[in-house]
Amino acid sequence: MSPTLNLSREDMRALGYRVIDMLVEHFETLPRKPVTRKADRPTLEARLREALPEHGSNALEILDQLQRDVFSSIMHTDHPRFFAFVPSPSNFVSVMADALAAGFNVFAGTWLEASGPAQIELVTIDWLRQACGLPDSAGGLFVSGGSMANMTALAVARHVKLGNRIEGAVVYFSDQTHSSIERGLRVLGFQNDQLRKIQSDGCFLLDLSALEHAIEADRAAGRVPFCVGANAGTTNTGAIDPLLALVDYCHQEELWLHVDGAYGAAAVFCERGQALLDGLGRVDSLSLDPHKWLFQPYEIGCVLVREERWLKGAFHILPEYLEDIEGKEGEVNFCDRGIQLTRGFRALKLWMSLKVFGQSRFREAVNRGFEMAEVAEAALRELSNWEVVTPAQMGIVTFRCAPEGLPPEELNWLSRELVDEMIADGFAMVSSTVLRGWTVLRMCTINPRTTETDVRGTIKRLDDMSKRLLQLL
Ligand SMILES: Cc1ncc(COP(=O)(O)O)c(C=O)c1O
């Protein structure tokens, strides 16, 4: 038997065509499929546990097994009625781009090994830079997602502001900030007493006066405030921290301003988003996740910093076995800009889909996310027992079923039960979060394939479920 691990042309074609057929079928039938499908561990153990096979088997049969036993147990985050967490409404063009990037096995770490892809990455990052209004001096990097983008940005902040000496340094962010900021800071060596989680105001925004007080108090105590983390669309409610005021304040106080726009910064692709995110172009660093509201399959996040050279300053190391990659003026080695040396050609999917659909269709697709949240809010306001907790903003609305007279613990119970009912039912998926101690439901409507009927149908379903649950009390 040959050790080459090659397939014949015919077998490659048969496997490839079958994979494409499976994908086309997935895209075509998705709206009619259940959104939620979760198997329990014993079932999956029984289906999939086996010893490492000594001998191979037929690839097409393995595809059948995958379809039957694996893909049957995923929640479809790209389904038009998946409104939980942050959906990832991918697109077929980008899926094909990912296949090409894997097929050509592009090593996107160095110019020497992938000059063409590096140029595509430069161009695509520049499109995002321009869309966000950052200056020409800015640069960036594609990473696995928002968590990695946030950590990369914070590592750059630590390097530029502190020369990596973190003792006594303090970082500030609101209690609505995504946990990846805290996790990133932990990985970067910050202790809990170096993190100030500022209580957000009544609209879940970073409270400027509380921020100023915390910074003054830390300075008075001899500590070194150096970085503020702000949100361009919180995961909970879509709230946007007061960016313009923060830009001015941080500039005046010589603090680094990092904005987590992993969820919301993509809104700059439409006019409404641009207006809401005024000031974004003046921040020191920004995270933006194309695998969320820019419709890419996982994994693609992006970090942008105001001065491109800061990335290299923070990450560049040249070991002797890589001296061959140091090239000519203008050549960019993306491995110098972040943590990964070996990295895939993530930019391709975003570049290719932006070229195929054009900015105009992305603009409409992003704008639709805003509209569908407004449809959800309007539908909820028509119902008697339901309360809108935070209005539609940036494609997110939070709400709860709150019949008069129900005690707090039963209200919270009801919201949690409704999520469980949704998971069991499969028609749609809505998740919960906790706001000021209240468990509430949350819909994130950024899938451009979501229809008004999907939104209204989901709310009707929730209402019917709530009526059944209320009878149990
Ligand atoms: C605001 C925000 N920041 C960061 C993240 C983390 O992004 P990722 O899951 O891509 O690591 C998320 C994820 O939902 C998010 O909503």
Q: Residue 290 and residue 365: Cα distance in Å, rounded?
A: 13
Closest-lying ligand 1 atom to the alpha carbon of residue 291: 10
The DSSP secondary-structure symbol of 281 reads G
The position carrying tokens 């006019």 is 271
State in Å: Cα 180 to ligand 1 middle. Answer: 7
Output the CA 193–ligand 1 centroid distance in Å.
Answer: 24
pLDDT tens-digit series, residues 385-425: 999 999 999 999 999 999 999 999 999 999 999 999 999 99
CA of 146 to the centre of ligand 1 (A): 5
Q: Is 56 exposed, middle or buried (0-12, 13-18, 19+ CB in 10 A)?
A: exposed
Q: Is the pLDDT of residue 359 over 90?
A: yes
SS3 of 213-271: the string is: HHHHHHHHCCCEEEEEEEEECCCCCCCECCHHHHHHHHHHHCCEEEEEECCCHHHHHCH
Share of the chain above pLDDT 70, in %: 100
| Closest protein CA for atom 9 of ligand 1 | 146
Pocket of ligand 1 (CB under 6 A): 86, 145-147, 150, 178, 180, 235, 260, 262-263, 289, 301
pLDDT digits 0-9 by tens, 145-160: 999 999 999 999 999 9
- Cα(123)–Cα(435) distance, rounded to whole angstroms? 40
The residue behind tokens 């500030």 is: 172
Confidence of residue 1 (pLDDT cuts 50, 70, 90): low
Give the chain's mean pLDDT. 97
CB 160 within 8 A of CB 332: no
Looking at residues 232-247, what average pLDDT do you find? 98
Q: Whose CA is nearest to atom 5 of ligand 1?
A: 146
Instruction: Give me the DSSP letters along 81-104.
Output: TB-SSS-----HHHHHHHHHHHHT
Give the position, in ligand 1's atom list, of the atom nearest the Cα of 85.
14
Q: Is the pLDDT of residue 45 over 90?
A: yes
Burial of 405 (0-12, 13-18, 19+ CB in 10 A): exposed
In the chain, % of residues over pLDDT 90: 99
Taking every pair of Cα atoms in the chain, the longest distance, rounded to a whole number of angstroms, is 75
pLDDT tens-place string over residues 319-351: 999 999 987 899 999 999 999 999 999 999 999
pLDDT tens digit sequence for 219-238: 999 999 999 999 999 999 99
150 Cα nearest atom in ligand 1: 4
CA 48 – CA 46 distance, rounded (Å)? 6
- 330: CA distance to ligand 1 center in Å? 32
Q: Is the dihedral of CA 315, 317, 321, 325 positive or negative?
A: positive
Strand ranges inside 36-182, DSSP E:
139-143, 169-174
pLDDT of residue 303 exceeding 70, the answer is: yes
Output the CA 43–ligand 1 centroid distance in Å. Answer: 31
For position 64, what pLDDT does the model report? 97
Long-range contacts of 322-331 (CB under 8 A, 24+ apart): 322/110, 324/112, 325/110, 325/111, 325/112, 325/113, 327/111, 327/112, 331/111, 331/112, 331/115, 331/118
d(CA 235, CA 454): 22
Structure tokens at 204: 């879940």
- The closest-lying atom of ligand 1 relative to the alpha carbon of residue 289 is 10
Task: Provide the pLDDT for residue 327.
Answer: 76
Write down the pLDDT at residue 263: 98
